[in-house]
Amino acid sequence: MTQGYNISANGIRQHLIRHPGPGPQMLLVPGITSPAITWSFVAERLAERFDVHVLDVRGRGLSQSGDLDYSLNAMAADVLGVIAETGMRKPVILGHSMGARVAIRAARIDPQIVGQLVLVDPPVSGPGRRAYPSPWPWYEDSILMALKGCSGEDMRSFCPTWTDEQNALRAEWLHTCQLDAIRTAYDGFHTDDIHADLAEIGLPLRLVVAGGASVIEDGDVAEIRELAPQTEVRTVEGAGHMIPWDDLEGFLAAVMDL
């Protein structure tokens, strides 16, 4: 049975949703404006293979928010704290977008408690690199709309390819994404150097690329493979950055055979 729960880890309240499965354990770290509940339709399928715990990243969903540190290092420390506090044993960390960058930094800090990384379309922006392709106003305008109260139909102007159910859920939960937390993470896409982290990681690593998006290009894949030669690459052709929203079966095919 799916169950939400709270723990204290890294000094704050961390909320997770567990989708029990046979194992191995998987800690799923969503992207910049994706509360844990919005990944439920994916996690329930992943639970056919994994014991899935989906994290509400600080400043989002039901985890602690307010006057906190929202840096990449703080989020990575949360992941390590959650693993330790829950007693997970070398879980797979599946991170999407921002969550993939968090997973990379966590594995760089303490590789001993991580089993494997699955990096789903991580932003490859950073110091001296091209900018992340999604403009800041897309995030700010949608969050401000959600803070006032909005419908799924209102959200469709921001997520036109999503289903009615997906837009309704985003409209319901986006207001829990604290605007300054999102801004800090977005700015970090351009200032944090995850490539330096990748060069220091020897863990098994799978990169899942959205073939219909421009977040990761062929040259980026080649660079990641050079930095971390153990990287397996799976491409979900035609899918946008929110891969499971566009092609759930394609996404599952890219990750279920770990």
Active-site residue, 19 included: no
Asked if residue 56 belongs to a domain, the reply is: yes
Asked if residue 218 belongs to a domain, the reply is: yes
Asked if residue 135 belongs to a domain, the reply is: no
Tokens of 30: 């969503």
DSSP 35: -
Asked if residue 169 belongs to a domain, the reply is: no
Q: Which domain holds residue 19?
A: 3-130+190-255
> DSSP 3-state assignment of 127?
coil
Asked if residue 152 belongs to a domain, the reply is: no
pLDDT on residue 144:
98
Asked if residue 235 belongs to a domain, the reply is: yes
Q: Are 64 and 13 in contact (CB under 8 A)?
A: yes
Task: Give pLDDT tens digits for 157-179.
Answer: 999 999 999 999 999 999 999 99
d(CA 227, CA 209): 17
Active-site residue, 217 included: yes
> DSSP 3-state assignment of 176?
helix
Task: Give pLDDT tens digits for 97-139.
Answer: 999 999 999 999 999 999 999 999 999 999 999 999 999 999 9
d(CA 197, CA 246): 29
| Catalytic hit among 217, 226, 232, 237 | 217
Task: Give pLDDT tens digits for 202-241.
Answer: 999 999 999 999 999 999 999 999 999 999 999 999 999 9
| Catalytic hit among 34, 97, 125, 142 | 97
Residue with tokens 């439920």, as numbered in its chain: 40
Asked if residue 240 belongs to a domain, the reply is: yes
Q: Which residues pair with 29 in a beta bridge?
A: 95
Asked if residue 47 belongs to a domain, the reply is: yes
Task: Give pLDDT tens digits for 20-61.
Answer: 999 899 999 999 999 999 999 999 999 999 999 999 999 999
Residue with tokens 């704050």, as numbered in its chain: 12
pLDDT on residue 23:
84
If one counts the domains in the chain, the total is 1
Q: What is the pTM of this model?
A: 0.98
Mean pLDDT along residues 143-167? 97
Q: Residue 10 maps to which CATH number?
A: 3.40.50.1820
Q: What share of the chain is helix, strand, coil (3-state, %, to 5)?
A: 45, 20, 40
